Structure 1
């Protein structure tokens, strides 16, 4: 599995320039002697969150909020922004965090994981198609890849006199590949031949979700919470990618 952050919420250039010209809290702060990063500065996501949250409780417009209240919440006079975000999450008013989005490229995950993802809401998918991508051994794909479950890898349990569990699993995948190849040679369309492909068949996708969905997804699929190993890996990778660019969210995933 490989998970890469492709894009995330950024302020419009004009708005970013305006806020940065009037405030210095968005600029990273470095140690003048060592050059080490001391403070990463306020992120675009935090600014968007402030606009959305305060819009719900203020007579001002979102633009007026950013123009007049940014210093109060993000400036040197306190950590009002941190308090505000903590209050929003603890009170359950997390619809205001839906305006912060993240887009990921997810590679080499099973169709079983894809089925589990569809049980969550507010996630957008663009998935590699088994209808249009030919998966026969003699095609450019070289056949279908597959994901071996953690419990199968390296198991010493003998399922037969000849095979360990992983060998048995691999043989099953080879057999399915053979049936798929034969159906294609018989002229069966790819969209119908794919019916024999297993849940283990690997796929790639682009997925977009907002911060509220990411927090809910992680709470349900994080390691140690009873979820299947593969999807816990995805949950952890998504969390790590998000917290790397929006560091203020770390405590909310925890």
Structure 2
């Protein structure tokens, strides 16, 4: 499995604060306020619900108050961190839906795909078994497959060999069906859950936290649990303030 964050919500350059010439200057403002783009967007969304100020003015008029003072709840960070903690605890997490992350996910099984598509608020673009050729002599070299650790490490006979032999039989049967003129969209019916695929996935912060709370738990299946941990790490790398909100049920 490979995962890479290929995009995430960032502010445009000409929002929020003015420089000495009267031009909007977010770059310097962000350094001054010591916050990420995601935090600025979250503050704008949260305070819009409770403030008479316009959304485009929130960080300009209220940023110093929240990002420039210590948290009043004694739990560390700035008062913006305190506000974010309060929002998450109170369940007002719709305000986090404005922060999106897009991942390139590669080499996961169709079994994992069946599980992750149950999470309704993600967007998916998935490699097609109808249009991507999977014959052994095609560019793909045949379908790849996930081998579970329980199969690799099983010491009761040649467990891995049995597993790989079954995959080889399926590949050979797929090849033969294609040679017989069966279209790929029908030949794919015999491909196993182990067959891998690639996808692009986009989710907002609220949906990613919800996904992690279920799929990061120890009772989740190992492959999707690994994906949940990798997604968490990628989000935290660009928005470190989110780390404390990744919790399992």
Superposed pair shares fold, TM > 0.5: yes
Aligned counterpart for 2:163 among listed residues 154, 157, 169: 169
Aligned counterpart for 2:50 among listed residues 24, 47, 57: 57
Aligned counterpart for 1:243 among listed residues 228, 236, 240: 236
Please say if 1:135 is aligned against 2:128: no
Counterparts of residues 96-107 of structure 1 (less than 5 Å) = 96-107=95-106
Q: Which residue of 2 aligns with 1:25?
A: 32
How far residue 99 of structure 1 moved from its aligned partner, in angstroms, is: 0.3
Give per-residue Cα distances to partners, 1:21-58, cap 9 Å, x unaligned.
456435xxxxxxxxxxxxxx310000000000011111
Aligned counterpart for 2:60 among listed residues 63, 67, 80: 67
Q: Which residue of 1 aligns with 2:190?
A: 196
Give per-residue Cα distances to partners, 1:123-160, cap 9 Å, x unaligned.
011111000001000111110000012221121123xx
Name stretches of at least 5 consecutive residues in structure 2 with no aligned partner. Answer: 17-23, 72-77
Q: Which residue of 2 aligns with 1:207?
A: 201
1:23 & 1:237 partners in 2: Cα distance?
Answer: 28
Greater Cα offset, 13-22 or 46-55:
13-22
Give per-residue Cα distances to partners, 1:54-99, cap 9 Å, x unaligned.
1111122111212200111111465210110000000000000000
Q: For residues 80 and 7 of structure 1, do their structure 2 counterparts lie closer, same or farther at Cα, with a shift above 3 Å needed?
A: same
1:23 & 1:243 partners in 2: Cα distance?
Answer: 18
Matched pairs, number: 234
Q: Which residue of 2 aligns with 1:114?
A: 113
Q: Which residue of 2 aligns with 1:185?
A: 179
How far residue 13 of structure 1 moved from its aligned partner, in angstroms, is: 1.3
Secondary structure of the residue aligned to 2:25 is: helix
1:177 & 1:107 partners in 2: Cα distance?
Answer: 20
Q: Which residue of 2 aligns with 1:36?
A: none
CA contact (8 A) 2:30 2:36 kept: no
1:207 & 1:144 partners in 2: Cα distance?
Answer: 21
1:202 & 1:150 partners in 2: Cα distance?
Answer: 16
TM-score calculated relative to the size of structure 1: 0.88
1:151 & 1:7 partners in 2: Cα distance?
Answer: 34
CA contact (8 A) 1:43 1:246 kept: yes
Q: For residues 19 and 72 of structure 1, do their structure 2 counterparts lie closer, same or farther at Cα, with a shift above 3 Å needed?
A: farther
TM-score calculated relative to the size of structure 2: 0.90
Secondary structure of the residue aligned to 1:25 is: helix
Q: Which residue of 1 aligns with 2:38?
A: 45
